[in-house]
Structure 1
């Protein structure tokens, strides 16, 4: 049952994030509540602890990137909802897959935006020669040259990877 709710929430969040770059509270908050209630009804106090810890881990994983302006609050709430629904280890593995997928997407977008030659040149000067801050490659303050994408896509894909393959 919880997998059906998870899949429904993921599909809706993927669509809304792609269309409007928003992950809606009307999806994440009821998913959090459902996860808590479902886990309590099926496992009692242990279910409450599973759901509560999962919620907190999901929230904690993305709160710093959110506070630094790297992502929206909807992304954080979606990860917290995944944790509340599926538990601590599931949300942790989802985050690992999400980070890997998000990194690949970001790298491809940087290469597409800056061109392969400029990206390699920038990487060489910034990393190999320590000429500049590595963050300037990814987190540019100039809005025109910065690369961004709806991170909910990576969260959905990472969570689906966890559903299919589980942990490591």
Structure 2
């Protein structure tokens, strides 16, 4: 990964982090700036191989996140975020980044639940809502749980360290 790619990637992630923490949104303007910027950088640095890597990064990363979005596991901004990361850094980086992000997100979610002392009540409530969804063959109880009782956090809290860990292990270690 070239220095220009690292700079573009980290600038994108830091700005997205700021917006997600402060406003709980990843603005479309940010995507519209960094998506073509990442593609142009890939073409300049790696010519045809850069186009292929960026294209695959976009399709695979965006596709995986789209599946999670369809199941309401994350928001649309997170799909756009990882599709853009895929364009900027390529498919290899984006897949590893996704993996580390999901692991970190899971650990953070458990820590938040444990420290807010709501772990047992949240788990019991979640099991109850899952059971109701299975009995009634309807996902409305799960949507109700997510909207009223689920504890959430901005996804960028996990993406930033996931990207830094990926950068370290892929290029610096």
TM-score, normalization by structure 2? 0.79
Where do residues 61-140 of structure 1 align in structure 2 (5 Å cutoff)?
Answer: 61-118=64-121, 122=124, 132=131
> How far, CA to CA, are the matches of 1:60 and 1:83 in structure 2?
11
Instruction: Determine the structure 1 residue equivalent to 2:158.
Output: 154
Shift of 1:7: 0.9
User: What is the aligned counterpart of 1:165 among 163, 169, 173?
Assistant: 169
Structure 1: which 5+ residue stretches go unaligned? 134-138
Q: Where do 4+ consecutive residues of structure 1 move more than 4 Å?
A: 116-120
Q: Deviations over 1:25-82 (max 9, x none)?
A: 1212221111211111222221110110111121012111212222221111111111
Q: Scaled by the length of structure 1, what TM-score is found?
A: 0.82
Consecutive unaligned residues in structure 2, runs of 5 or more: 133-141
Structure holding more helix per residue: 2
Corresponding residue SS for 2:106: helix
Aligned residues: 159
Q: Considering only aligned residues, what root-mean-square deviation do their CA atoms show, in Å? A: 2.8
The alignment partner of 1:166 has SS state of helix
Contact 1:111/1:119 (8 A) holds in 2: no
